[in-house]
Structure 1
Amino acid sequence: MKNLVPLAALVGLLAVSVPAHAQTARLGYVPTEDHPVGMASVFFAEKVKEKTDGRITIETFGNGVLGSEPQLQSSIQGGFLDVMVGPTSNLVGTVPEYLIFDLPFFYPDFEAVDAVMDGDVGKFLFERLDTEMGIVGLAYWDNGFRHITNAVRPINTIEDLSGLKIRVIPNPLFLSTFETLGTNPVPLPYPELYNALESGAVEAQETPVGLIHSSRFYEVQDHLALTGHVYTPFVLLASKRWFDGLSDEDRAAVLEAAQEAAVYQRDLSRSDADRLTGLLEEEGMQVTRLTEEEMAKLRERVAPVVERFSEEIGTDLVQQARAAMDAVAD
């Protein structure tokens, strides 16, 4: 009996080794685990655990195993899921101001994008997200500029888009944009896209090169046109029920970890885009870059769409975004 640890000492050891109020949260996302979203989700989870001294452990679930992005969003709203990453395009049904990230040919470069996301416009949108949906915006992540792939023909001119049956995000601005460009847009959840391309249910799609590569679209698509027509960010979101249930200290730690993860994810995503484009060419995709003359035709064609949806977003907010971009322009 002399070798037994006294009960009081054992309780003391347990108190030291097990953090007070320890909890496990779940984070869901749709891209693959080797996509920058997957890698940054793990980074975020590690930072949260470190900054909370182990009080919060976040388990990450990628590849859509917890559902499509709209399903994850519903789970976040209902408090059944704690954290998720998804594109802002799925938020526009309730917060139409998020359409500002779907305006075609609106953002000239990453500096302009960051000026809008990290400035007053991005903060205002997070406030709207809280009041209208009961969701907490933690940070904006990179999704890259979107490009068009298809299995029919190379895209060198605006006429080459005519009649293509293209999958788009189920979002009114995307539908209007691609209808105006002369395609036949088909709204479809992302997890269904590969099979739809493989079966021929759709002929084309438009996503950033990171998703094109990680989702292996080169297996079912022959042509990639680097149009950069839309910049749609990813956003790291938290359930209000979960986030508000944290202590002030832990909420601050989660927000700090989210910002650090945003820096990590944006750098990872953006620095990898050129390399991935090269890999897609190695996999057999024919990559085309439209001339500036043809790009001008695309911008001119969709200008009425930008004007119409700017009114729905709010012309003051659109002007605020333009001013933020002008402030960082060369």
Structure 2
Amino acid sequence: AVNCQLGTLDIGAVNQSVMTSFIPDIAAVDIPYSITSYEDADKLFANNGPLTKYYSDEIKNAGINLINMDVWEVGFREFSNSIRPIKSSKDIKGIKLRVMDSRIHQGFWRALGADPVPMSWGEAYTALQQKAIDGVENAISVLDGNNINEVNSYLAMTDHNYSSIFIIMSEKAWKKLSPEQQKIVMDSAREAGAYEREEQRRQAKAAVDNLASKGMTVTEVDKNEMKAAVADFIKEQGAEYPEIMKIISETTGK
């Protein structure tokens, strides 16, 4: 993102948590259970949905030399650990897990009674091997791609956070394009985004099946119970982003 901002890189694919360095409001999407289904995610982001448009305007108004072409997805984040199967929020208490260096992510797990440890994803596998931590949370395709079954026995489908990717372009590169070329780039980014979402969801389902076939115990978690367990935390965080929470509520009817 910084290289795009400086104009030394033309196009970048940047995780929403990284984008909060430029647009703090993007952190609202990190609030647990703010987005609870792919259907709601599509209403908010697909085809220049209200959140895509809102964040695109924010990026433009911030004058940070970035053009937001589209918002793609990483998917819902799940939780794996080596201690016990997770069936409710009570089962999470006391488990030490790796989290991103994010105030919201750390606060969520702390509210559940877990022991969140911020560290880079690159360190997580070794930390699990050495028993420095008990578990991790990430998108299911990431867990599968990193062979999490080798160091964790239990996978809980918590769907606690919807993770997205911003496809950005440096304003310097953008201004070199004619209006016709700019339209082609935007249309192509959204067409590619539709394909990316479809493929990501296919891979997510395959990842769960693959991890289960390799011996992981997979449990479905009651999302409403999880959300209720951290209701005060969610309310507190949502109060910091009233405009975005209003967009989410009005668009999804939740």
TM-score by length of 2: 0.90
Q: Which residue of 2 aligns with 1:116?
A: 44
Partner of 2:198: 267
- Tell me if structure 2 keeps the 8 A contact 1:154–1:225: yes
Deviations 1:294-326 (Å, cap 9, x if unpaired)?
Answer: x4332112211221121212x133112111112
Gaps of 5+ in 1: 1-72
Partner of 1:323: 250
Equivalent position of 1:85 in the other structure: 13
Deviation of 1:174 (Å): 0.8
Aligned amino acid, residue 217 of structure 1: I
**Structure 2 counterpart of 1:304, which letter?**
D
Do the aligned residues in 2 keep the contact of 1:96 with 1:312 (CA within 8 Å)? no
1:224 to partner: Cα distance = 0.4
1:203 equivalent in alignment to 2:131: no
Q: 290, 298, 302: which is aligned to 2:226?
A: 298
Q: CA deviation at 1:205?
A: 1.1
* 1:232 is the counterpart of 2:163: yes
Q: How does 1:10-25 map to 2 (within 5 A)?
A: none
> 1:126 aligns to what?
56
Q: How does 1:10-159 map to 2 (within 5 A)?
A: 73-118=1-46, 119-132=49-62, 133-159=64-90
The count of aligned residue pairs is 251
Deviation at 1:202, TM superposition (A): 2.6
Task: Please state which structure has a larger fraction of its residues in strand.
Answer: 2
Higher mean alpha-carbon deviation, 222-231 vs 248-257, is at 248-257
Q: For 1:134 and 1:305, how far apart are their aligned partners in 2?
A: 34
Give the Å deviation of 1:248.
2.6
Q: Tell me, what secondary structure is at the counterpart of 1:143?
A: strand
Using the alignment, how far apart are the partners of 2:11 and 2:156 within structure 1? 34
Cα–Cα, structure 1 residues 86 and 194, in superposed 2: closer, same or farther, change >3 Å?
Answer: farther
Higher relative contact order (CA 8 A, sep 6+): 2
2:239 to 298, 311, 324: 311
Aligned-residue identity in percent: 25
Change (3 A) 1:215 1:243: farther
1:217 matched to 2:148 = yes
Q: What is the CA distance between 1:170 and its match in structure 2? A: 1.8
Q: Distance in 1 between matches of 2:161 and 2:85?
A: 19
* DSSP-derived class of the 1:228 partner: strand
With over 3 angstroms needed to count, the CA separation of the structure-2 counterparts of 1:93 and 1:302, relative to structure 1, is: farther
Code of the residue aligned with 2:114 in structure 1: it is: T
In 1, distance between residues paired with 2:10 and 2:153?
39
Distance in 2 (alpha carbons) for counterparts of 1:90 and 1:305: 22
1:130-155 CA distance string (max 9 Å, x none): 33333221111121111101122221
CA shift for structure 1 position 104 = 1.0
Residue deviations 1:205-251, cap 9 Å, x none? 11121111122222222210011111121221222222223333322
Q: 1:179 to 1:267 in 2, by over 3 A?
A: same
1:2-50 per-position Cα deviation (integer Å, ceiling 9, x unaligned):
xxxxxxxxxxxxxxxxxxxxxxxxxxxxxxxxxxxxxxxxxxxxxxxxx
Question: Cα gap change, 1:80/1:215 in structure 2, threshold over 3 Å: closer, same or farther?
Answer: farther
Match of 1:47 in 2: none
CA RMSD of aligned residues (A): 1.9
2:244 partner letter: L
**3-state SS, counterpart of residue 163 of structure 2:** coil
Equivalent position SS for 2:70: strand
| Partner residue, 1:60 | none
CA distance in 1, matches of 2:119, 2:167: 22
- On the 8 A contact 1:179/1:185 being kept in 2, the answer is yes
CA contact 2:80–2:137 (8 Å) conserved in 1: yes
Aligned-partner residue type, residue 59 of structure 2: L
Q: In structure 1, what residue type is equivalent to 2:158?
A: T
> Structure 1 residues 191 and 253, CA, compared in 2 at 3 Å: closer, same or farther?
farther
Give 1 or 2 for the bigger CA radius of gyration.
1
Distance (Å, rounded) in 1 between the aligned partners of 2:132 and 2:168: 32
SS at match of 1:229: strand
